[in-house]
Amino acid sequence: MTLKTTLAATTALTLAATGAFAQEMSNDMTIVSWGGAYQNSQLKAYVEPYQELHPEVNVVWDESSAEAVAKLRAMNEANNITWDLVDVEAADGIRLCDEGLAMEIDVDEQLAEGDDGSSASDDFGDSIVSDCFVPQIVFSTTVGYRTDMVGDTPPSDICAIFDTETYPGKRALNKRPLANMEWALLCDGVAKDDIYDVLATDEGQTQAFAKLDSIKADTVWWTAGAETPQLLADGEVVMGSTYNGRLFSAIAEQDQPIGMLWDAQMLDFDGWVVPDGLSEEREARVMDFLKFATDTQRLADQAKYIAYGPARASSAPLVSTHAELGIEMAEHMPTDPANATNVFVTNYGFWSDYRDDLDSKFQAWLAQ
């Protein structure tokens, strides 16, 4: 064998070994989500079907999505990334990308095209709010109320939250500023189109906190979306905010005496980010899962378990009935025309810029 042939053979073996290594995948994957009915919908629609194809994969759940930004900052600082895939709201997806804490993803190269032949970027459309954010669902933050605790005139307006005379009793609100600040200004007379311009000012923030002061003593503050449905089921609050899918679960699946208020529902996107800095094997596994979990059929399948709209246009026609109840799911989506007569689209760009400052002010206000 000549020296030239030997070198060529050695190079070929080296390239083959490198290629094989690049295809190796970790068998462990930590997925971060929000717990409750929502996380269960991800388990049923994405994780269990993926594990049927890949029984070697062990998935560990972490329910820390509400703290995703702070925890990923800390992991990055410690150079110890323990999460593989993180479910976040759109605004947090933008923040994590801007701070270099999430990996940029070429959706057309790394994700599945639509079942209708559309590219992934066209299929997801405007829901791609960041180079690092892979959209999953359209959801809303809205208000549920006890039907047997509101008298003969159930609430139909978002400002019922602040009307303790007509609807006495405790309220449940998120222990974060998002939605609370917008609703406070809206119910204090600020026009919907002006909300974020006003909220960007010190005077507007003071106005929002003053409105929230009027019900502060009557409010139970929640940190997990599952808390409000439980508080309502237990009769501890007369009304409270949470995610529309959590309320659907309490009403349709658990048959609780709860009604849903769609007025001024806060529409938003939720999706995935992959933490920056994963090993090659962990990144290969999570991207293989992500391509599977965000294809047309899987996003449509999630709507069998919870009333969130799929972020892909090609998934919408495939939304059918609830997996167990057999009821049509389309009419329970926040985007259904009957539910969307007065929506409030969350300005995720605003929250990506102002979130840290308003979080700090909100927690200081709570402590007063």
Q: In 10 A of CB 350, how many CB atoms?
A: 18
> pLDDT digit string (tens) for 44-101?
999 999 999 999 999 999 999 999 999 999 999 999 999 999 999 999 999 999 999 9
- Spatial distance between the Cα atoms of 145 and 352, rounded to a whole number of angstroms: 30
| 24 — pLDDT class (breaks 50, 70, 90) | confident
> pLDDT digit string (tens) for 329-343?
988 999 888 999 999
pLDDT at position 47: 98
**Which tokens in the block code for residue 188?**
């204090």
> What share of the chain in percent tops pLDDT 70?
94
pLDDT at position 23: 59
pLDDT at position 175: 96
The CA R_g of the chain, rounded to the nearest whole Å, is 23
Q: Which residues of 313-337 are buried (b: 16+ CB within 10 A; e: fewer)?
A: bbbbebbeebeeeeeebeebbbbee
Q: In 10 A of CB 80, how many CB atoms?
A: 9
How do beta strands 344-345 and 258-273 pair?
Answer: parallel
**Which tokens in the block code for residue 202?**
């010190």
The yes-or-no verdict on residue 251 having pLDDT over 70 is yes
Query: For the residues of 66-134, what is the DSSP string, one character each?
Result: GGHHHHHHHHHHHT----SEEEEEHHHHHHHHHTT-B----HHHHSPPPTTS--HHHHHGGG--STT-E
> pLDDT digit string (tens) for 10-22?
444 443 333 334 4
